[in-house]
């Protein structure tokens, strides 16, 4: 059994090695690492080779070299290159593994040998993942050495990119394998996988919008409640001043007003409008919270591609670093809930949205995603085992 498995692995390796995109992607990885190494930071701003670009809010006086390279790695190293460009190239390279296997004349030759179908399919699947493992490891190793040499810091956490990006890729690759079995076409499997990826992207976008709207409504409610308290306090001060002067509070007809609440409204007409804003804000919170929960449960059924790649940022960059950058760029203390600006432009909303996504549990992000992958692979295995080729 071990000899057969090794033979399958060797065959899969030769197949991947023969694909030009494997070596093209590897070369592109090295080029991106060179670009990463060419970046730096000094007291004036960001450097690229021997050029310096003055950036007042992004220099060595505010950001350490370690944090600078971590930010670059997370923002475009993994956020753009590894999880978009490299994954697309990997899907293009590996999409044909299963359709090519079940094409006429190939599968019959393989199945004529005493090899279990489950082991055959899973071996092909695992070696499809190995394509990404090698690519991400080379990229992470290069960035690790850059941080060690240029940033003078030891950050082994960079290698977390390997399991994270491979997991991200596997959520898409399992769908590609299933579609390849059903359609027997590399092009169809690839296009349908990209369509599925687009659906996940739209659901993620909807989730971000719903969470942002909910947090914005919560901020608006807090501001409305705070404003109501201030208006009540202001009205009480007016009433106290009238009482000290020995004057009564009268309505437009000259009748004395005795009720405490009526006196407040008479002394401060803005109080009534402040009271109306509170239930309006509460209704908005309830509405956006309902929609946010609906999208959240929909996401639970799908792989969490965005949150999975976000784990790398969560583990590389601490919340304290984010709060510091937030304060330096906005001038607002992240712990300060007082802000006189409108909620839609309130930097507190952005900070709270970030905290919401960073607080989502690992069990939900990876557990439900791997459950989805297990189900899809189970269906693919069942089809592969029972189909008469």
Condensed to tens digits (0 to 9), the pLDDT of residues 336-383 reads 555 554 444 578 898 899 889 988 999 999 999 999 999 999 999 999
Given a cut of 60, whether residue 63 has pLDDT beyond it is yes
- Please give the structure tokens belonging to residue 358: 């960073």
Residue carrying structure tokens 């197949």: 15
- Would you state the pLDDT for residue 120? 83
pLDDT top residue among 19 and 318: 318
Residue 51 is classified by DSSP as E
Beta bridge partners of 172: none
Beta bridge partners of 53: 46
At 50, is the pLDDT very low, low, confident or very high (cuts 50, 70, 90)?
A: confident
pLDDT top residue among 186 and 15: 186
- Please give the structure tokens belonging to residue 32: 């991106």
Given a cut of 90, whether residue 179 has pLDDT beyond it is yes
Least confident of 125-134, 150-159, 267-276, 324-333: 324-333
Which phi and psi angles does 99 have, rounded to 5°? Answer: -60, -40
User: Coil, helix or strand for 388?
Assistant: coil
Nearest residue to 349 via CA among 208, 204, 206, 205:
208
- Would you state the pLDDT for residue 142? 92
Residue 316 C-beta-side C-alpha neighbours within 13 Å = 28
Which phi and psi angles does 248 have, rounded to 5°? Answer: -90, 160
- Would you state the pLDDT for residue 341? 47
Residue 114 is classified by DSSP as S
**Can you tell me the mean pLDDT for 116-134?**
86
- Please give the structure tokens belonging to residue 251: 């309505």
Q: pTM (2 decimals)?
A: 0.83
Where would I find the H helices in the chain? 2-18, 20-38, 65-72, 86-94, 97-101, 107-111, 117-149, 161-183, 186-245, 260-267, 270-300, 305-316, 319-330, 347-359, 362, 368-386
Q: What is the mean pLDDT of the chain?
A: 84
Least confident of 189-198, 294-303, 315-324: 315-324
- Going 322 to 325 to 329 to 334, the CA torsion angle's sign is positive
Given a cut of 90, whether residue 321 has pLDDT beyond it is no
- Would you state the pLDDT for residue 342? 46
Residue carrying structure tokens 């989730």: 207
- Would you state the pLDDT for residue 116? 78
Q: Give CA–CA dist 300/304, Å, rounded.
A: 8
Residue 48 is classified by DSSP as E
- Would you state the pLDDT for residue 282? 93
**Can you tell me the mean pLDDT for 167-172?**
95
Nearest residue to 91 via CA among 200, 203, 186, 18:
186
Residue 249 C-beta-side C-alpha neighbours within 13 Å = 21
pLDDT top residue among 333 and 185: 185
- Would you state the pLDDT for residue 279? 92
- Would you state the pLDDT for residue 283? 95
- Would you state the pLDDT for residue 199? 96
Residue 107 C-beta-side C-alpha neighbours within 13 Å = 20
Least confident of 20-29, 59-68, 100-109, 267-276: 100-109
Question: Order of strands across the sheet with 45-48?
Answer: 39-41, 45-48, 51-54
**H, E, C per residue of 226-259:** HHHHHHHHHHHHHHHHHHHHCCCCECCCCCECCC
The tens digit of pLDDT for each residue in 233-263 reads 888 888 788 777 777 776 666 667 767 778 7
Given a cut of 60, whether residue 274 has pLDDT beyond it is yes
């Amino acid at each position: 059994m071990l000899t057969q498995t090794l033979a399958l692995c060797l065959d899969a390796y030769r197949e991947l090695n023969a694909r030009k995109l494997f070596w093209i992607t590897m070369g592109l990885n090295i080029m991106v690492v060179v670009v990463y190494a060419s970046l730096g930071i000094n007291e004036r701003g960001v450097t690229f080779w021997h050029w310096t670009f003055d950036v007042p809010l992004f220099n060595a006086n505010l950001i350490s070299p370690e944090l600078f390279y971590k930010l670059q790695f997370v923002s475009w190293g993994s956020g753009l290159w590894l999880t978009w460009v490299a994954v697309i190239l990997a899907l293009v390279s590996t999409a044909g593994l299963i359709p090519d296997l079940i094409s006429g004349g190939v599968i019959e030759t393989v199945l004529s040998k005493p090899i279990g179908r489950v082991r055959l399919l899973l071996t092909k699947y695992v070696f499809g993942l190995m394509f990404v493992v090698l690519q991400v490891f080379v990229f992470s190793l290069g960035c690790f050495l850059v941080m060690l040499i240029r940033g003078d810091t030891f950050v082994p956490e960079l290698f977390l990119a390997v399991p994270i990006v491979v997991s991200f890729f596997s959520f898409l690759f399992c769908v590609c394998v299933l579609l390849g079995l059903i359609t027997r076409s590399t092009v169809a499997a690839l296009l349908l996988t990209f369509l599925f990826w687009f659906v996940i992207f739209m659901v993620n976008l909807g989730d971000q919008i719903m969470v942002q709207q909910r947090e914005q409504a919560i901020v608006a409610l807090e501001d409305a409640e705070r404003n109501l308290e201030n208006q009540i306090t202001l009205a009480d001060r007016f009433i106290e001043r009238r009482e000290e002067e020995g004057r009564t509070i009268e309505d437009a007809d000259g009748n004395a007003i005795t009720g405490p609440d009526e006196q407040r409204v008479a002394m401060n007409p803005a109080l009534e409008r402040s009271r109306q804003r509170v239930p309006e804000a509460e209704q908005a919170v309830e509405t956006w919270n309902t929609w946010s929960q609906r999208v959240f449960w929909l996401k639970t059924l799908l792989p969490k591609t965005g949150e999975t790649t976000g784990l790398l940022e969560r583990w590389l960059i601490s919340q304290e670093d984010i709060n510091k950058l937030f304060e330096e760029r906005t001038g607002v203390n992240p712990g300060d809930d007082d802000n006189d600006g409108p909620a839609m432009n309130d930097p507190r909303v952005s900070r709270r949205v970030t905290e919401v996504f960073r607080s989502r549990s690992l069990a939900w992000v990876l557990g439900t995603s791997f459950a989805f992958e297990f189900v899809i692979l189970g269906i693919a295995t069942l089809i592969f085992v029972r189909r008469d080729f």
